[in-house]
Amino acid sequence: MRPQTEETTYQELPAFERVANLLRDEMIAGKLLGGQTLIESELAERHQISRNTVREALRQLLCEGLVVYQRNKGVTVRTMTRADIKDIYIIRRTLELQAVGGDRYIKQETLKRLWDTIEIVESAARDDDWPTVATYSLRFHQVIVSILGSARFNSFFASIVAQLRLLFASAPDEKFFQYPWVERDHQIYQLLRSGDRQAACQLLTQYLQDSEQSLLTLFVTKESL
């Protein structure tokens, strides 16, 4: 996956990268779910590209761990596992805690982007639109990682966010699962805005621990059904 800056637009990318990004965004938005089949002919028609280009896009997502190839079934969106949860949260702690607890200057533009996502999350929560809450809570954490100032980290973390969204979508009650994080995202933002990065890092550390445990508990519950 090519590193992208905030200024990069999908139209500037090669066709296969553009389609891979659009499919990844659909996962982050909760529009593609684990186990869902991706049909080459349908994707080619929808995006007005060749099937060879579709295959390149799917190979990109395969390398990112977002899809799998199954004999006699083709390409499907990957279903995440308990092992994936543990691996994802190692990555989250490494990147997010460094971003929040480090000494890299947080631009006013970045604080505005954080606030914009908070407003969307809180508005969606008031409207009982929990899929949107899930999507934009993850967008909030993408902005946190962007504090590091690395286009490569931003691109890599987009794949991690898509994997997280696939995990969130498996929750039988998204409101119950997402509700606790709305206020905590807001608190992290307020601490970053006030410049208290040590407190923000402490809150985020507990946040990630609780979030990981919630997902692990979700999988235990599903496996027992």
- 32 secondary structure, DSSP code: S
- Say which CATH class 82-224 falls into: mainly alpha
DSSP 3-state assignment of 69?
strand
Q: What is the pLDDT of residues 162-173, one digit of tens each?
A: 999 999 888 888
Q: What is the pLDDT of residues 58-87, one digit of tens each?
A: 999 999 999 999 887 899 999 999 999 999
The dihedral of CA 59, 61, 62, 68: what is its sign? Answer: negative
Q: Are 68 and 38 in contact, with CB atoms under 8 Å apart? A: no
pTM above 0.85, yes or no: yes
As a whole-number percent, the residues of the chain with pLDDT over 90 amount to 83
Count Cβ atoms below 10 Å from residue 177 Cβ, excluding itself.
21
**What residues of the chain score a pLDDT lower than 50?**
2-8, 225
The domain spans of the chain are 10-77, 82-224
User: HSE on the CB side for 141, CA within 13 Å?
Assistant: 32
Instruction: Say which CATH topology domain 10-77 has.
Output: Arc Repressor Mutant, subunit A (1.10.10)
Q: Please name the amino acid found at residue 89.
A: Y
Q: Are 224 and 212 in contact, with CB atoms under 8 Å apart? A: no
Q: Please name the amino acid found at residue 77.
A: V
